[in-house]
Amino acid sequence: MTSANRNPAHPETSSGDMPGDDGIHTQGSFFGRRKGHRLRLHQADLIEHLLPRLALDIGGPSPPDLAALFDPPVDDVRLEIGFGGGEHLVAEALAFPKLGFIGCEPYVNGMAKILTQIESHDIDNIRLFAGDAAELLAWVPPHALVRIDLIHPDPWPKRRHWKRRFVQDATVAAMSRALRPDGEFRFVSDIADYCAWTLAHLARSPDFIWTAERAADWRLPWPDYTMTRYGRKAEREGREAAYLRFRKAG
């Protein structure tokens, strides 16, 4: 299910080298698993030279303040998990230049797409992580993020694969740790079962409050939401998405 955002949160890793095999290594670090079309030459060049300048190294201790990762300085930091083609993340970074954004995406093709946009728009408030979002959440300091977005994740529809869904009790607890009080977790999906799954997991957490007060609050995108390619495809095919917002309890 490869699409703008339809990506698993816990990628398998491989040990190949560019070009022509399943992974990319840059300066000894794994930068995601290739999936889909072969990279164009300029995309491969961006992976080789631009990505290392923007990639987070979680091998060591996290900085006391994530805002220190950005130059010029930012006021607050947000995270998008599985940004796919990067449409939403890029739009948010351009709309809020005083915020810092961390994008987590395990697939090389997604990284190549967003790097192209970062270069063309000269964006300086995005940092990238090509790996397991759960590991990234464990690395960030407590209460470091003001918002976490998970937009059209892979629903893993077969029951035997449900354990691969990103939303689990453990990751809900990890997001609670990473978010500051009154921070938000935002979730979008056109898969009713995954929406119900997410509501159930967040409802049993004492750390989150579902903000919806009326049906329109979850049936309609929040103001200024940037629709992804997958979201537009779902609309064309008659699938309605739910837009769920959860506030971290103070």
What are the catalytic residues? 154
> Is there a cis peptide before residue 19, judged by omega within 30 degrees of 0?
yes
Let me know: does 47 contact 146? Beta carbons within 8 Å.
Answer: no
What is the rounded distance in angstroms from the CA atom of residue 147 to the CA atom of residue 241? 20
Task: At 123, list the tokens.
Answer: 């964006």
Q: Is the dihedral of CA 47, 52, 58, 64 positive or negative?
A: negative
User: Which pair of tokens denotes residue 164?
Assistant: 């691969």
Q: How far apart (Å, rounded) are the C-alpha atoms in residues 141 and 183?
A: 14
Owner of token pair 């990473």: 178
- Contacts of residue 212, defined as CB under 8 A and 6 or more positions apart, other chains included, come to 218, 244, 245
Q: What share of the chain is helix, strand, coil (3-state, %, to 5)?
A: 35, 20, 45
How is residue 102 written in tokens?
């961390």
Is the distance from CB of 54 to CB of 70 less than 8 angstroms?
A: no
